Amino acid sequence: MSGLEPVLLCCDLDRTLIPTGQAEESPDARARLAHLCAHPAVRLVFVSGRDLRRVLDCIQEWSLPEPDFIIGDVGTTIYARGGQAASVGGEWAHWPAWTNEIAPDWHGLAHDDITHLFSDITAIRPQEANKQGTFKASYYVERSINQHVLDAELHGRLWQQGADARLVWSIDETANLLLLDVLPSSASQLHAMEFLIQHLSFDERRALFAGDSDNDLQALASHINGVLVANAEPSVKERARQLVEAGALEDTLYVARGGFFGMNGNYAAGVLEGVVHFMPEMREYMRLENESDDRVT
């Protein structure tokens, strides 16, 4: 055996592992991450708002390590490879245990029933097909709308159908639109990670989530060890610190600052820095081939 206790490393993708923000990425960061993830004790989970296809595309585009699980579509799906899932040949497939966990919230309804229920509401416009899921109905909404009134109307209709749903609002600054996701109330990235930890019988202290933005705050401020990469906006760092303070969970948040292995703490470098903060013995597994001890500072 490897001698290492198993580790469950959960990472957001956009601007956490994928270096598409303004900040620079240290040249060695992703190579070190890949080295770490090659260790058999490390189970890697990607956590993203993206759907499966767009997660797989970015793995290829950015040469990311192959994950063991993908939590996609804002926490409404968990994908696993054959063996863990109802699939053959190592293809990615829905992990049915997760679907069974969240489906009851919608009381027998699924995506098409929700869009039918809202079909006469002209203030909301369905997003593209690849942004929809069985348990995710996503819309574009004009920013001028009275969000409070619309939210109440949608909730009212869902309640009449017995559906327990969560409405998640966000802003697409580029398109100047509001984005709305209608989800089962128990479907979240945090709950999906908790579910994985429980079903894989992981020691929760050996699990870690890394993220960068507002939509990662729920998981970052939870009882699960959280890492904010250094490239996160100052406002997100501030909010994360306030949240853990309010919940007396300061010990489970680490904000990367750089300096580790001479890297800057952005993106994958921040993830690695956080892994070592919570599990110092993992440092050994981040060295590149032929790297001598004296470079490890």
Residues in the site for Mg ion, rule: CB under 5 A? 12, 14-15, 212-213
- How near is the Cβ of 17 to Mg ion at its closest, in Å? 9
76 vs 213 by CB, closer to Mg ion: 213
13 vs 102 by CB, closer to Mg ion: 13
Task: Let me know: does 254 contact 227? Beta carbons within 8 Å.
Answer: yes
- How near is the Cβ of 210 to Mg ion at its closest, in Å? 10
d(CA 115, CA 126): 8
According to DSSP, residue 294 is labeled: G
Task: Let me know: does 266 contact 273? Beta carbons within 8 Å.
Answer: no
- How near is the Cβ of 48 to Mg ion at its closest, in Å? 8
- How near is the Cβ of 180 to Mg ion at its closest, in Å? 19
142: left (phi over 0), alpha (psi -120 to 50) or beta: beta
DSSP string, 72-136: EGGGTEEEE-BTTBS-STT--EE-HHHHHHHGGGGTT--HHHHHHHTTT-TTEEE--GGG-BTTB
- How near is the Cβ of 261 to Mg ion at its closest, in Å? 23
DSSP string, 152-177: HHHHHHHHHTT--EEEEEEEETTTTE
Neighbouring-strand partners of residue 69 = 45, 80
Q: Determine which helix (DSSP H) or strand (DSSP E) holds 141, and give its type and residue range.
A: strand 137-142
14 vs 153 by CB, closer to Mg ion: 14
15 vs 94 by CB, closer to Mg ion: 15
- How near is the Cβ of 208 to Mg ion at its closest, in Å? 16
14 vs 233 by CB, closer to Mg ion: 14
Q: In this chain, which residue has its C-beta nearest to Mg ion?
A: 14
197 vs 271 by CB, closer to Mg ion: 271
d(CA 260, CA 274): 10
Task: Let me know: does 37 contact 286? Beta carbons within 8 Å.
Answer: no
At which residue do the structure tokens 């110092």 appear?
A: 280
15 vs 43 by CB, closer to Mg ion: 15
- How near is the Cβ of 226 to Mg ion at its closest, in Å? 13
